[in-house]
Every structure is written in structure tokens, then in C-alpha cells.
Structure 1
């Protein structure tokens, strides 16, 4: 899905080359670079990459999968069968400009269900970096210990209203594989985590991915999400990374746009649960 004309005009007026940003994203952010998280493996099947060993199976692909029709159907079914044999579901991430254009329809025909669409936003780290401004009584700290990672998973589960306890193991696997490839931040007040977020640094690319930004409802509108953006952008600059990437929800996207992020495309996760499991 492309940008609306008004969005294209707005970015033209600020002299941002959206097509160049999209090309850089496609060349650098399609396959996960860097250390493989502990306990996980990456397996290639033709044009796609299977991410194995996480809380669910994942499939990542280039912009153009390079097959169509029945060959594409067979590729999709192979991924389903592979993860079903492991007793797992699978998620396939599709961007709005991916090819072939009927990939989403073929995923749905194979039993995948589209999740909510995200805006893929890119920001220039040196334009976003700033000293984080925190509300009174809030301390921001970097965390990596098991107890804190458990608290982050509990915090995110509370905010989202469904079980994301897997976040604890996911973050721990990233830290174990390479602690320099991830920064995990927690804003704390009164002994509670009120906002949490993390960054993944993609070695050999221009990108840092900003993930997990989640704030307790009672603390929203007080600048915590903006502080997390500023802090992570500042560290990205310090480490020599040029670009910030976010798959943003409808709640987060307006904040990010106000801070200079630009939409380049959309992203939708198509999920297929394991056989016999219900869909939420």
C-alpha cells in the first residue's frame, strides 16, 4: 500500500527522499542481521528465511519473493507444514509494497489471518536525538537482569491486556547472544515500571530498530514515550547509526511523525496458529 498524496506532498516539501529511504530499508532490513538470539536458528528455504526457536515461527522475505501462482502456494504450505511439525504456529510479515501483489490473498487462503496494519516509519537519528525529559519522580535506566526482564513482560501484558510473557525470554535471548546489540530501557516511578522500550542495533546497516514502546495508561500524555524516543535516538547517534526504524501502531505513529519520522510503507503480520488451536 502506497502513501496518500497528502503524505507524499508533505515529505516532498521537507525535501525527504521517501523512495531512497524505502530502497535503503528494502536492501538492509529484510533479513535479520547480527547475532542470532540464543536458542534460535535461521534456516533458508528458497527466497525466504525461517526464524526458528522463538515463541512462534517467523518467516521473513525479500520485497519480491520471486515466485508466483502454484509455486508460491507450495512455498507457503512448506512453511506451514514445517512449523506444524514442530507443534508451532507461524507468522509471515508482509509490507504494503511487496510482490507478488496477491501474496496476502494466498496467505489467507492457506489459513493465515491478517493482524492490525502498522505504519513503517523512518527517522534520522541525529534529528531525533535529544536529552530525554522525564516527569517528576520518574527515573530512566538501562536494564538486562532476569528480574527486570520479567517485570517488563508483566508490564507489557498489563498494558496490552493479553499474555506477552514470551517477551521475557525473547529479550533474554537477545542479551545472551550479544548484549551490545540491544538496549533495554525502563522508566520507573514508585517501584513500578511505567514505560518500557528497547532498541536493536543492526550491524553492517544504517538502522536501529525501536521496539516495545509501551506506557501504562495512567502515565500517558506525560512525555514518557517521547523521552524513550529521544534517549534511544541519542544512543543510536553515539554508536554511529544513521536511521531509526519503527513499525508503529495508530497510537504511536502520530507522535513519531511529530518528531520527524516519515512513513515509507506499511507492514502487516499474517499469523497462522498451530492446528487445533483457537484464534484470538
Structure 2
């Protein structure tokens, strides 16, 4: 893909830093998660409730098929479904086709977008009747799961269980913000604050259909940008859907790559 470049950002330099910090040398993202590098592949076993999959690989036409088969054997022996998180700049160029041929199923692609956090910290007015709940506690995570269900129409139970485990074991790595209309969650988002990286990860942010287009999503980005700066993170990173990509581009996010989750059910 062609990078969408914004002034002051070098997309190639930032992408190299992202690959290095957030993929190849990424710390585990949850309690009990284990990351290991086996040959040219970095993978995480997230346990029964966490995320398991391939974070990074350094493959070519000769090594790719064997590496894919090894991950299927490894996670299959554990009884885990897993995700191979593929990026459009990964080698070999036909890696996505090889993953499909091995039986992995692609989900809709998303755009890896990055922005410097500091310029995004300004206040964004909220619609009348909306307030932000910013405590990261059990109630917030349950509200986030309900906001996820209302925005995306999918069950948020697994997400809720996973985040509750993080809250219990590593609360410093998690920030949660929920937009409430009265007591009803209409938008919810979280931020992943892993140590030893420059990138704070923004996740969620889906808004209930009746509240879209009124600035709530932007307000949640601004809130998390302020928190990221306070915690010493330089960049915000998003795997953006087609719906959120135009909003993020207007805010100054740079498109660096396209990421596609490839899932395998043992």
C-alpha cells in the first residue's frame, strides 16, 4: 500500500520501530501469557482466555510453508485457536495466500495507523447528555463489554473475561473509558499500555448507531491521548476499520500498513 504521510512523520521509520517494539520484541499482553521466538517466528500463548497467535515473522518463499505448519502443530497440541496477525509489508509477498492454503481463515482487513499523541490531547466537546466514565475497574469493563455489543452486535463476554484478568494482574497496562448516556453505555474504548514500547494501543471505540457522528469517538481518542502522554508514550497506534479510518486520518493518523487477522480453529 502507499503510506499516507503527514508532516513531521517518517512512515518508514515509524513502521520499523513498530515492527521492532510492538511485534518482534513485544512484551506479553496479559496474565499468564508467554511470548517466545522459535526460529523466524515470534508467537504468544495467551492461555485459555487470552490472545494466542503469531506476532512477527521473518520468512521467505522457502521457509514460509514449514513455519505455518509448525504453528498449526504447536497451537493444535495446546488445543488453542490462534491468530496469525499478517501485515501487508510482511514477506514473502504471497504469505497471505499461503496462510489461506493452510486452512487459516481471514477476517476483514484493518489499517495500521499511527499518530503522535501530544497533538491529539485537546478537549473535544461531548454531546449534551453524554459523560465519560474513566475509572478502570470491574464496572467499567462490564460497561465496555455492553458498549461493544451495542456498537458491533457481537457478544463481548470473552473480551470482558480477558480484561478482568488483566485488571486483576496488571492494571497499570490497561486504561478504560466509557461514554454514558445516563446509565447506558453508548461507546467504550480501552488503551493498552505495555512496558518498554513507544506505542500505546487504542482498541474499541465503537459507538451505538444512534449516537454516531457526534464527536464521541474523537473525545475518547483525545482522552486516551492525554493519558498516553502522561504515561510517557510518544505514539498512538490503531488497527482501524473502514469506518474509523477516515476519522483518524482527519485527526492526523498516518496509514502504515494493512493488517489482516488469519484465524485457525484446531
So what's the TM-score if we normalise by structure 1? 0.87
- The yes-or-no answer on 1:41 pairing with 2:40 is no
Partner of 1:28: 21
CA contact (8 A) 1:56 1:88 kept: no
TM-aligned CA deviation for residue 67 of structure 1: 4.7
Partner of 2:99: 107
Change (3 A) 1:270 1:55: same
Partner of 2:12: 19
Partner of 1:277: none
User: Which residue, out of 50, 53, 56, partners 1:58?
Assistant: 53
CA contact (8 A) 1:135 1:223 kept: yes
2:23 alignment partner, SS class: coil
User: Which residue, out of 245, 252, 255, partners 2:247?
Assistant: 255
Inter-partner Cα distance in structure 1 for 2:28 and 2:94: 33
Change (3 A) 1:257 1:44: same
CA RMSD of aligned residues (A): 2.0
Deviation readout 1:77-119 (Å, 9 max, x if unpaired): 1211222233332110011111111211111111011111111
User: Which residue, out of 70, 74, 89, partners 2:66?
Assistant: 74
User: Which residue, out of 119, 122, 136, partners 1:144?
Assistant: 136
Deviation readout 1:240-276 (Å, 9 max, x if unpaired): 21111111000000000100111111111111223xx
Paired residue total: 264
2:255 alignment partner, SS class: strand
User: Which residue, out of 176, 193, 207, partners 1:201?
Assistant: 193
Unaligned runs of 5+ in 2: none
1:210 alignment partner, SS class: strand
Inter-partner Cα distance in structure 2 for 1:80 and 1:35: 20
TM-aligned CA deviation for residue 41 of structure 1: 2.6
Change (3 A) 1:31 1:213: farther
Unaligned runs of 5+ in 1: 275-280
